[in-house]
Amino acid sequence: MRITKEKAAENRASLIKAAARLFREHGIDGVGVADISKAAKLTHGALYAHFPSKEALAAEALAYGTKDGNEYLKSLDKDDDPDLGKYLEYYLSPRHRDNLAVSCSMAASASEIGRQDEAVSASFSEGFNDMVELVEASLGDSAVQATAHERALAIVAAMIGGVAVARATAKSRPKLSEQVLRATRAILAEIGGMEPRTSSSRTVRKVKKAA
Amino acid sequence: MRITKEKAAENRASLIKAAARLFREHGIDGVGVADISKAAKLTHGALYAHFPSKEALAAEALAYGTKDGNEYLKSLDKDDDPDLGKYLEYYLSPRHRDNLAVSCSMAASASEIGRQDEAVSASFSEGFNDMVELVEASLGDSAVQATAHERALAIVAAMIGGVAVARATAKSRPKLSEQVLRATRAILAEIGGMEPRTSSSRTVRKVKKAA
DNA sequence: TGTACATCAGTGAACGCGCGTTCACTGATGTAC
DNA sequence: TGTACATCAGTGAACGCGCGTTCACTGATGTAC
């Protein structure tokens, strides 16, 4: 039952999309090839026609999950000015913490990546670099003595850590979880050179474009 | 073949210790009860005499891994003055990144905890709180406008994120991995109110005890 | 445009294997007398 | 102190199940003539 090239490409994309969502929700080890194939409305045999192994699919799913599959990046297309305040507000929000299915793949799987093969690590690194560039382009002046690139690296790692910790504490200590999000948001905004914002004030000073 | 109470308690401790090490190295989903029992020189049946389930053992192993099983905390006993600089230097070092077996359980499993049950989350929260207290007690003055507790929360989450990201990038981009460690170390030291340090200068100004 | 056939995406049964958990049993320990 | 026996930590076979991967097969697509 051969199908058209277009349909085959669609199926391949479906597998990646389903894998990205399921890996974010249940971890890479927590999802089987049967689950992924089923979610993509295919059989596991079809999965192996497109990818040599589950780990190869994981590498592609992670790449997708940090680019096209990134909810925030998608909403950004029309926005011309990178805005760290907006990004932090989204990324370190209870909404982003709780919506694993469409959240940042890096935060969802951070501690698992190091145990996968190099291709998975490479996808993470690429996604991480993209995110650092996005942050670096939106940095303002800061009292912190460090180059924009150094600050951007630390900010992104701290964002990922903040969400990972907020998720880890959510079940047993929901208030602690929100304190972590709030504190991380506030301090990263300061490092980034944003003006400190109160929780009631929703407007953020636009920072000058660095690029 | 009943054994003494003392030996039984030892065996229980062995199971927790073995579980803590193996979970750190391979993730909670990446280790089976057979592996843990074998490492503790017991059979899996004995494991179930001590713990109702693998997840219950995971909760205890995580609690152990953030307290008695924490390499840094152990070396601290004699030290009277909490020193954030020393802590950051250890925690955000390539050595700590690479030695999973004896590293911080929170950084090793951060993104997996949210998928386990509440008992595991509770162990994480407790370990996290302990670490926040340790950091808070060693905070100096800072240009960053936030309370000591807020700064401590953000610093600890960023430490965990820094190590998780450094591990995730290590296989594909070792230089990036070290940059992440260095940048996170430098910026957290500044937030903590330490004097900025060059990489060649190994001595750190002792900060005043907050407690 | 029509025919013949090679291609290959997708199917589904089967592979060996390890998973978490249960349970009947063992036998030295710990206790009651 | 000596005897009788209940306790229970630990053993190891067995449970059903899902895992990642392989492979013979199908049949419409895509291509060569």
Give pLDDT tens digits for B40-60.
999 999 999 999 999 999 999
Q: If pLDDT is split at 50, 70 and 90, which confidence band does A148 have?
A: very high
In chain A, what residues touch B141 (CB-CB under 8 Å)?
Answer: none
Nearest to A140 by CA among A152, A132, A130: A152
Identify the pLDDT of residue A65: 94
Backbone angles phi, psi at B193, to 5 degrees: 95, 15
In chain B, what residues touch A32 (CB-CB under 8 Å)?
Answer: none
CA B198 to chain CA centroid, Å, is 26
Identify the pLDDT of residue B74: 86
Report pLDDT digits (tens) over B83-101: 999 999 999 999 999 999 9
**Cβ of residue B45 lies below 7 Å from strand D:** yes
Distances (CA, A) of A45 to A19, A48, A62: 15, 5, 21
Whether the pTM exceeds 0.85: the reply is yes
Distance from CA of A169 to the nearest CA of B (A): 5
Report pLDDT digits (tens) over A37-67: 999 999 999 999 999 999 999 999 999 999 9
B211 has a pLDDT exceeding 60: no
Mean pLDDT of the A180-199 span: 80
Q: If pLDDT is split at 50, 70 and 90, which confidence band does A75 have?
A: confident
Backbone angles phi, psi at B43, to 5 degrees: -100, 165
Q: If pLDDT is split at 50, 70 and 90, which confidence band does B82 have?
A: confident
What is the CA A34 to C1' D17 distance in angstroms?
Answer: 14
Distances (CA, A) of A87 to A50, A83, A140, B102, B160: 35, 6, 14, 35, 21
Contacts for A211 with CB less than 8 Å, ≥ 6 apart: A137
Q: Are B98 and B90 in contact (CB under 8 A)?
A: no
Q: For residues B2 and A36, give the distance between their C-alpha atoms in angstroms, rounded to a whole number.
A: 47
Mean pLDDT of the B200-211 span: 36
**Cβ of residue B54 lies below 7 Å from strand D:** no
Give, as ranges, the nucleotides of chain D with any atom within 7 Å of a protein CB: 7-14, 18-24, 26-30
Q: Which residues make up the interface with nucleic strand C when CB must lie under 7 A? A: A 1-3, 7-8, 11-12, 42-46, 48-50; B 1-6, 31-35, 44-45, 47-48, 53-55
Is pLDDT larger for residue B56 or for residue B72? B56
Identify the pLDDT of residue A69: 86
A2 has a pLDDT exceeding 80: yes
B157 has a pLDDT exceeding 50: yes
